[in-house]
Amino acid sequence: MENIFNPIKSRFKEPLIKNMCEYNELMDKFKGDYEGTWASFADEKIDWFKKYDTILDESNAPFYKWFTGGQMNVAHQCVDRHLDTKKNKAAIIFEGDNGDQQILTYRELAYEVNKTANMFKNKFDVKKGDRVVVYMPMIPEAAVVMLACAKIGAIHSIVFGGFSAEALRDRIIDAEAKLVVTADGAFRKGKPYMLKPVVDKALEEGCECVSKVCIVERNGEDIEWVAGRDYSYNELVKTESSVCAAEPMDSEDPLFLLYTSGSTGKPKGVQHSSAGYILWAQMTMEWVFDIQDNDTYWCTADIGWITGHTYIVYGPLAAGATTVMFEGVPTFPDAGRCWRMVEEYKINQFYTAPTAIRLLHKTGAHEPSKYDLSSLRILGTVGEPIDPPAWKWYYEEVGGSQCSIVDTYWQTETGGHMISPLPAATPIKPACATFPLPGIMAEIIEEDGTPVEIGEKGFMCVTKPWPSMIRTIWNDGERFKKSYFGDCKKDGQPVYFTGDGAMMSEDGYITITGRTDDVINVSGHRMGTAEVEAAVKKHDNVASVAVVGKPHEIKGEGIFAYVVLKSVPSNHNDQTADEFEVMKEINNIIKTEIGAIALCDDIAFVPDLPKTRSGKIMRRILRSIVKGEAITQDTSTLEDPSIVGKIEEIVNR
């Protein structure tokens, strides 16, 4: 008998969706009048400058448009419109790696956003529609920069601070950015680290589009200044006015780009809209996190990922909440860091990735009991499947068996949560994303749209467009169509395919079974095997390579590479030492090309890869070998069927 945990209502006061009846009613309302129901939320939640004419424009599917004809501004929605009622409420609570604290009230946030927006316009000539690349640490200025872009209609493209100069350069060039905003560096585990030198390196070639770099001071370390290109944020912002009118933005004007990995090729610039995106960010904040006026909410993600965009900055602020921003890492100075912060700030919602939960479980299983965590009401997880032991520890030790766990399933492309429990309503099953949120028509189907049988794996699709969905891939509409609307159909029409597999139980619970494509999920971060392979191939002695995910105790998945060398080290007595050397060189290349997050955990040097006669690499066989699973695929079609045994032997050595 499966465990089912009913929501514990004692810590909830006024949840928006109180029970499954209300959930079903709302879902039925959407089913009965899909567009009308979305419109009623758009009317209620968004402070429109000009009301829209059309709710959903499907005339150029799959380039869907929502709320066209309407005008609004996301920074106004997140900051200015709260000033009447929440002026002195904390908008952002910042805690530095070293324990520094800083609080920005909504009034102070408005002041900083306006000054920064004016600085962008006056000192950097940033105009509506220009792209601004942001390469910043987790400091309040990062949120200010995002909102300042939104205020004047510039499109930000944040690049995670762990990406290398090469990766940063690719993204700058693809977005044709005009300005790069960065910081000297920041602090991590008690020590300063640097970002500005990475920007310098990225700009060395091919980035003619960038004329200026704006640098926020954080760690005070020495950096080089390029005259005429580099400017100090702290200096320039001082003299700007704190009054700035919000640029009226069309609903469909892009708010930001965020690059993410696909199964093939280079990372793609996922483009999000203004009105539809912020509407769903706010609604999910209210539904899934039950955000109430006195709550203090903390999401541990980095702003370099979609979780940081939607659930540190845009969602919480649109909902008028208090959001915590943390510069450090959960295990520094010790494994009690998060719990100490929960106690200190009286956190009500805590949102993190299964990787962090596994790490904290492993390094400090009993740490939570040392702190008063009774303020917690909701615990969230995101980014990868959570395994039952980690779930249990989170539920019992962190939540004291008194909190709801929301296992939120979504993607960079979906803008916000898609499948998740509602904390006061949904009876939860450990490690299960449960049900689609109201308004989300998620279905598990075969490629032709047939619903799969109960308990069978199928494709996780969304069969109707929703407001916060990806609008296109920057500069590549064809790739957008092919990547998301090329695989599955329903009633003959292409539908959005997530790239994930899923299963449904008899009682309708959805469990995500993971990617069906060549994307791996390392510590909740998406990594394309093609990108890692392209980096490995840059090594002079690599003839061919195939990268797959390998189950990893903490990271969920680690990166495993099968490498065929051009010349096998001749000295067989010392083969392992030679291979070790090559492995180090390969990882150095990956670090330069992508960043440390994509390092290979393990490399197997093999005589060849399992290829069909037409030259296609049979990755499924390679995945099975690394998992130690029996090979069920037909190997007789391989060019050299004996290679499978040879590879198995090497991997299991």
Q: Does 170 bind ligand WTA (CB under 6 A)?
A: no
**At closest approach, how far in Å is the CB of 460 from ligand WTA?**
8
User: In angstroms, rounded to a whole number, what is the distance separating the alpha carbons of residues 218 and 199?
Assistant: 15
Helix ranges, 486-574 (H): 529-536
CB 196 within 8 A of CB 182: yes
Stretch that binds ligand WTA, among 111-119, 123-131, 218-226, 380-388 (CB under 6 A): 380-388
Single out the residue of 409, 459, 497, 605 in contact with ligand WTA (rule: CB under 6 A). Answer: 409
> b/e for 364-375, b at 16 or more Cβ within 10 A?
beebbeebebeb
Would you state the structure tokens that stand for residue 194, as one six-digit string?
A: 């640097």
Stretch that binds ligand WTA, among 165-173, 383-391, 444-452, 630-638 (CB under 6 A): 383-391
Which of residues 181 and 386 has its CB atom nearest to ligand WTA in the complex?
Answer: 386
Please identify the residue of the shown chain whose CB is closest to the bound ligand WTA.
412
Q: Does 73 bind ligand WTA (CB under 6 A)?
A: no
Residues of span 514-533 touching ligand WTA by CB under 6 A: 514-515, 521, 526
Q: How many residues line the site for ligand WTA (CB under 6 A)?
A: 23
Single out the residue of 408, 483, 523, 624 in contact with ligand WTA (rule: CB under 6 A). Answer: 408
Q: Does 385 bind ligand WTA (CB under 6 A)?
A: yes
Q: Does 406 bind ligand WTA (CB under 6 A)?
A: no
Bridge-partner residues for 133, per DSSP?
Answer: 157, 180
User: In angstroms, rounded to a whole number, what is the distance separating the alpha carbons of residues 137 and 96?
Assistant: 11
Phi then psi for residue 136, to 5 deg, are: -135, 155
Phi then psi for residue 278, to 5 deg, are: -70, -30
Stretch that binds ligand WTA, among 101-109, 337-345, 407-415, 451-459 (CB under 6 A): 407-415
Q: Does 273 bind ligand WTA (CB under 6 A)?
A: no
Bridge-partner residues for 180, per DSSP?
Answer: 133, 213
Would you state the structure tokens that stand for residue 206, as one six-digit string?
A: 């091919």
**At closest approach, how far in Å is the CB of 105 from ligand WTA?**
29
Listing DSSP states for 39-78 in one string gives HHHHHHH---SB--SEEEE-TTTTS-EEEET-EE-HHHHH
**At closest approach, how far in Å is the CB of 11 from ligand WTA?**
22
Q: Does 484 bind ligand WTA (CB under 6 A)?
A: no
Phi then psi for residue 299, to 5 deg, are: -115, 125
Q: Does 488 bind ligand WTA (CB under 6 A)?
A: no
Q: Does 624 bind ligand WTA (CB under 6 A)?
A: no
**At closest approach, how far in Å is the CB of 468 from ligand WTA?**
12
Which amino acid is it at 86? K
Q: Does 38 bind ligand WTA (CB under 6 A)?
A: no
Stretch that binds ligand WTA, among 187-195, 396-404, 464-472, 509-517 (CB under 6 A): 509-517
How many alpha carbons lie under 13 Å from residue 538 in its C-beta half-sphere?
15
User: In angstroms, rounded to a whole number, what is the distance separating the alpha carbons of residues 75 and 248?
Assistant: 10
Which of residues 106 and 289 has its CB atom nearest to ligand WTA in the complex?
Answer: 289
Q: Does 300 bind ligand WTA (CB under 6 A)?
A: no
Single out the residue of 152, 306, 356, 586 in contact with ligand WTA (rule: CB under 6 A). Answer: 306
Stretch that binds ligand WTA, among 112-120, 273-281, 483-491, 510-518 (CB under 6 A): 510-518
User: In angstroms, rounded to a whole number, what is the distance separating the alpha carbons of residues 383 and 423?
Assistant: 18
Q: Does 81 bind ligand WTA (CB under 6 A)?
A: no
> b/e for 627-644, b at 16 or more Cβ within 10 A?
eeeeeeeebeebeeeebb
**Number of separate helices (H) and strands (E) present in the chain:** 20, 31
Q: Does 37 bind ligand WTA (CB under 6 A)?
A: no
**At closest approach, how far in Å is the CB of 567 from ligand WTA?**
38
User: In angstroms, rounded to a whole number, what is the distance separating the alpha carbons of residues 524 and 540?
Assistant: 31
Q: Does 315 bind ligand WTA (CB under 6 A)?
A: no
End-to-end CA distance of the chain: 40
Task: Please state, as a whole number, how many other Cβ atoms lie within 10 Å of the Cβ of residue 555.
Answer: 23
Which of residues 137 and 267 has its CB atom nearest to ligand WTA in the complex?
Answer: 267
**At closest approach, how far in Å is the CB of 262 from ligand WTA?**
10
Helix ranges, 457-559 (H): 477-485, 529-536
Q: Does 498 bind ligand WTA (CB under 6 A)?
A: yes
Residues of span 415-444 touching ligand WTA by CB under 6 A: 433
The answer for 82, left when phi > 0, alpha when psi is -120 to 50, beta otherwise, is alpha
Enumerate binding residues for ligand WTA (CB under 6 A): 260, 305-307, 382-385, 407-412, 433, 498-500, 512, 514-515, 521, 526
